[in-house]
Amino acid sequence: MKIGEAIKKYRVRPGEKVDFRTIDASDCSLFANGGKVESQAVFDELRDELQALQKVLYAQNKHRILIVLQAMDTGGKDGCVKHVFSRVDPQGVSVKAFKKPTEEELGHDFLWRVHPHVPGNGQIVIFNRSHYEDILAVRVKKLFGDEVWKRRYRHVVEFERMLAEEGTTIIKMYLHISKDEQKRRLESRLANPAKHWKFNPDDLSDRARWDDFQRAYEDLIEKTSTDQAPWFIVPGDRKWYRNLVVARIMVDTLRSLKMDFPKPAWDASGVKIV
């Protein structure tokens, strides 16, 4: 997987049509010379590089990185965070998971609960679910009238434009799994008592609306993939490949910032420790 290849292949260009039925969730075409075992060394190298890049990011205290992760249930958001970021200093990376909004959150605009958690200088923040749930779930589950989620497309685009123009690099990733793969993963959660806590009977009612969710996601990604905040559709059926692609996109994006450790204001050779 060469530098830039994953970004080029999986990035949704502004205005591009999205049809999940034509996107193979088990694609692993950028690593044709092997599978999970063969990719391990490459993945390890990417993780080392990510770790090194985060150090500079933190030291330079200038850029802000926001990663938005969305997927259907069992899509792999948690696993992806765990594997890709496991070597990065937790001091500079935080994960913010968004659950069902509270009554107080519903008493404010939908970005109110999100905005306080965006990254500051030198930070990486990962949104595990995000403001996009307040378009997607609101639409599919008809929580409010249609005018609400429709207006919110503009709100998120302008919100992200503001964040980007003020200095935030935004990467939005949709982890794309097939309906069959979701079946396998849900069954595996049911079969393993140690995974029961991850199973929620509500997931089944969402699964029953699979097609509605898929169409809503396609529309959402089409309308909100912009130059300043692009969406990536990452094939998610093979976990090793998904992790490889996410790590590659992260590394390539951070590299493109051309960061450097800040020059000290003093001369290191002139300092004596006595």
- Out of 43, 127, 159, 213, name the contact with its own copies by CB under 8 A: 159
- What is the three-state SS of the chain? CCCCHHHHHHEECCCCCCCHHHCCCCCCHHHCCCCHHHHHHHHHHHHHHHHHHHHHHHHHCCCEEEEEEEECCCCCHHHHHHHHCCCCCHHHEEEEECCCCCHHHHCCCCCCCCHHHCCCCCCEEEEECCCCHHHHHHHHCCCCCHHHHHHHHHHHHHHHHHHHHCCEEEEEEEEECCHHHHHHHHHHHHHCHHHHHHCCHHHHHHHHCHHHHHHHHHHHHHHHCCCCCCEEEEECCCHHHHHHHHHHHHHHHHHHCCCCCCCCCCCHHHCCCC
Q: Which stretch binds its own copies (CB under 8 A): 72-80, 162-170, 196-204, 250-258?
A: 162-170
- Out of 13, 100, 115, 255, name the contact with its own copies by CB under 8 A: 115
Counting contacts by CB under 8 A, is residue 227 touching its own copies? no
- Out of 37, 104, 261, 271, name the contact with its own copies by CB under 8 A: 104
Counting contacts by CB under 8 A, is residue 125 touching its own copies? no
Residue 152 beta carbon to its own copies: minimum distance, rounded to whole angstroms: 8
Cβ distance to its own copies smaller for residue 143 or 208: 143
Cβ distance to its own copies smaller for residue 109 or 202: 109
Q: Which stretch binds its own copies (CB under 8 A): 29-37, 44-52, 116-124, 199-207?
A: 116-124
- Out of 20, 31, 85, 110, name the contact with its own copies by CB under 8 A: 110
Q: Which stretch binds its own copies (CB under 8 A): 45-53, 106-114, 185-193, 236-244?
A: 106-114
Counting contacts by CB under 8 A, is residue 132 touching its own copies? no
- Out of 82, 100, 108, 183, name the contact with its own copies by CB under 8 A: 108
List residues near its own copies by CB under 8 A: 61, 64, 104, 107-112, 115-116, 118-122, 151, 154-155, 158-159, 161-163, 165-168
